């Protein structure tokens, strides 16, 4: 038995408009099935390294840049067209 992360993450039954970039689909949490690193006892060995790298990258960004809250701005983005 094998699971393909690509096909699982692009399944229209699971993700509405699966091929469209839509960061809002994650606003309510991660209840949708993600198999990026696999699962079980044969999970990807690089998972812990990837998580550590994300934490280091976030820490560097916080240390190197000044962040501020800005007033809401209406922006319309169209991700349906390729670059």
* pLDDT tops 80 at residue 36: no
Average pLDDT, the chain: 82
Determine the pLDDT at residue 64.
97
- For 51, phi then psi, to 5°, come to -65, -45
Tokens standing for 45? 């060995």
pLDDT band at 1 (very low <50, low <70, confident <90, very high): low
Question: What span, in angstroms and rounded, lies between the C-alpha atoms of 7 and 15?
Answer: 11
């Amino acid at each position: 038995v094998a699971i393909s992360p690509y096909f699982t993450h692009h399944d229209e039954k699971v993700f509405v408009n699966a091929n469209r970039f839509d960061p809002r689909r994650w606003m309510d949490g991660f209840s949708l099935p993600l198999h990026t690193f696999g699962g079980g006892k044969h999970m990807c060995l690089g998972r812990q390294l990837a998580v550590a790298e994300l934490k280091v990258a976030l820490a560097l960004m916080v240390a190197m840049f000044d962040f501020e809250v800005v007033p809401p701005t209406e922006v319309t983005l169209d991700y349906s067209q390729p670059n």
